Chain A
């Protein structure tokens, strides 16, 4: 491996690498966001309290089973196989040629959704049920309780896990090369077979992946800290605000003495 070749490759192929990195980021951002929304929606649906009888109970149980099947299926099969199945399978059975980028975003989204659903469920369970009861006691229904009380806290709690999903997605979009989505890994492969400089090409790509994941991790850490908020509270009308002019004068006098 030589430094000169590495620099040559960067100089010659940077637009292609950058485009690949762009597609990778695009798919993983959209996939993570859509996946998180799917997860939140499933979390809300699966925590609806079951009525003791009636058609609503049957409906809820059926929906719950379907959602459970979705989660287990997508968590239990490789994304690479799912990509092939959805992209070529759908094309074969229905005769529709999906847009490759769209297919990529779709696959990453529903995969992330399956993982996020479980993360959200854990997040909801981690909030003490007293707050749910208090919201019910002031007359909120399930949806209002979720939107106004539970989910804002759930989202804060699951942010680290969501960030983790995002980082995983940045790396895992590389499997989409099997359906020829021109993300970073796919472009790297093309460059490598054009130059035959595997070590240098893949080294550069490693660095690009690392820069992306590391930046995302740092950004998310900052957001988490922001959301934490201060632990202490100064009551309104604190000492400074009720200070009388004579107090200020006296304080100044003290300072003068000290000096």
Chain B
């Protein structure tokens, strides 16, 4: 299977503070990769580097073989290939649910309003938010907002979905509804890169798990390898802390 995203020797510093060091990994088409690790280990920064919300300090990011850090590369069209779901939902407060999902399609992809609405309705149905199309974000609960945010990202029909701790800002009883949507997406064969604290999700849904610690990838493997048979001392320590 071809690599959709390949990260080589990626590094990132904020001033003299080095948050990512020599990160190497790749994501194949249809794979679900979970990134776990304690807070401050650089998980989110790495994810944000991939769609250039943070500018990497060094290394290469290849998207279908093309280096997107090349200054001549069109980052705007590249970003449309990646769907991003944020911890804080980040819905557009001036748009209703439907228009949150269509504004990008119309303004960036140049789709017609009718086409965009049809596509958006399809994904809103998928996340169970089609009955709320005229609601404003402030009228929704956290779980509902996050499901709309997922539909918004899907409406752009991206190649890869990036999830940045999508359930961390939710009340416990709303985590389930969002994880359920994500499970469905994983089952449908979507390529996903998920930064998460939901160990159960990482174990059951992902094909591969990356464990990060202090800005480096400490261990990488299948969910069985990481959760049942971790090799590294740091991985063991982290898992025993989080699972007990």
- Assuming the A-B contacts A133-B86, A134-B86, are A236 and B156 also in contact, with contact meaning beta carbons closer than 8 angstroms in the complex? no
B241 an interface residue at 8 Å Cβ cutoff? Answer: no
Q: Does B80 contact A (CB under 8 A)?
A: yes
Residue B72 is within 8 A (CB to CB) of chain A in the complex: no
A156: min CB distance to chain B, Å: 8
Q: Is the CB of B86 within 8 A of A130?
A: yes
Scan A122-139; emit 1 where CB is below 8 A from any B CB, else 0. Answer: 000000101101111111
Range for the number of chain B residues in contact with chain A: 35 or more
B136 within 8 A of A: yes
Task: From B2-10, B87-95, B111-119, B175-183, give the one contacting chain A.
Answer: B87-95
| Residue among B55, B104, B133, B152 making CB contact with A140, cutoff 8 Å | B104
| Chain A, range 114-171, C-beta contacts under 8 Å to B | 128, 130-131, 133-141, 144, 148-149, 152-153, 156
Taken together as a complex, chains A and B put the C-alpha atoms of A137 and B80 apart, in Å, by: 7
A139 touches B91 (CB 8 A): no
Residue B242 is within 8 A (CB to CB) of chain A in the complex: no
Q: Can you list 18 pairs linking A and B with CB atoms under 8 Å apart?
A: A130-B90, A131-B92, A133-B53, A133-B86, A134-B92, A135-B104, A136-B53, A137-B51, A139-B76, A139-B80, A139-B109, A140-B104, A144-B108, A153-B94, A233-B136, A236-B131, A236-B133, A236-B134
Give chain A interface residues in 209-256, CB to chain B under 8 Å. Answer: 229-233, 235-237
Q: Which residues of B contact A156 (CB under 8 A)?
A: 94
Bits for B20-45, please: 1 = Cβ < 8 Å to A, else 0. Answer: 00000000000000000000000000
A residues touching B (Cβ–Cβ < 8 Å)? 52, 128, 130-131, 133-141, 144, 148-149, 152-153, 156, 229-233, 235-237
A148 near B107: Cβ-Cβ < 8 Å: yes
* CB–CB A131/B93 < 8 A: yes
Expressed in whole angstroms, the Cα–Cα distance for A168 and B152 within the complex equals 43
Q: Which of A52, A139, A235, A236 has the most CB of B within 10 A?
A: A139
For B92, the chain A residues whose CB sits under 8 A away are 131, 134-135, 148-149
Q: Which residues of B contact A (CB under 8 A)?
A: 51, 53, 55, 76-77, 79-80, 82-84, 86, 88-95, 103-104, 107-109, 131-136, 138-140, 149, 152-153, 156
Chain B contacts of A140 at CB under 8 A? 76, 104, 107-108
Q: Is the CB of A229 within 8 A of B136?
A: yes
Q: Is there contact, CB below 8 Å, between B104 and A139?
A: yes
A101–B153 Cα distance when bound, in Å, is: 52
Nearest-neighbour CB distance to chain A for B47, whole angstroms, equals 11
A144, B107: Cβ atoms closer than 8 Å? yes
A49 shortest CB reach to chain B, Å = 10
Residue from A137, A139, A232, A237 having most chain B Cβ neighbours under 10 A = A137
Say how far A42's CB is from chain B's closest CB, in angstroms: 21
Q: Is the CB of B76 within 8 A of A235?
A: no
Given known A149-B94, A231-B138, contact A137–B55 (CB-CB < 8 A): no
A216 and B149 alpha carbons, distance in the complex (Å)? 39
Which 10 A-B pairs rank lowest in CB-CB distance, beginning with the nearest?
A: A130-B90, A139-B80, A134-B90, A138-B104, A233-B139, A137-B84, A233-B135, A152-B94, A139-B79, A139-B108
Separation of A124 and B155 alpha carbons in the complex (Å): 27
CA of A37 to CA of B91 in the docked complex: distance in angstroms?
26
Return chain A residues, CB-CB under 8 Å to B53.
Answer: 133, 136-137
